[in-house]
Structure 1
């Protein structure tokens, strides 16, 4: 029953599309953060973008700059989340831009 090759192809295509979406979002976010007029966010590094749980919501995992409090980095990211989401929306080819959820890791 679980050996249906068609189901596997559909899942594989969906996974490929999600990986492509995450890659495009990663690029757009990295570029957008580099344009901000915020000394802390300029130093933030986008480590990964992953579906959370699917492409309608993306977990953006960033590494905080050395010496920056993690909660402050997250607060600043949330303040510019609308701008970041619009930058992702312009970089991807979907009807709806995914919601971004930020996770901040220490340096």
Structure 2
């Protein structure tokens, strides 16, 4: 059982290590003698007689991520917070009316 776990771990690490190299592969476009357009990953996969005419394909770059929201300072209120405390000190708890002080 340990051997399977080790093999799975080694295979996973190998896949992660090779993933960036696959993502960075250059693609090429080339046309054969019959006029058929072909696409290949890497110049090595283009037949040798067409390598001189193979053109690298330019892919558009991904748009930059949106800017992060500005950090709030201590003076700013959070959404849903009252801008000022209610008169008379602490607010009443939800569902309970405010208690008024009576003298007497």
TM-score w.r.t. length of structure 2: 0.29
Which is strand-richer, 1 or 2? Answer: 1
TM-score w.r.t. length of structure 1: 0.28
Instruction: State the structure with bigger RCO (CA 8 A, min sep 6), 1 or 2.
Output: 1
Which of structures 1 and 2 has the bigger CA Rg? 2
Which is helix-richer, 1 or 2? Answer: 1
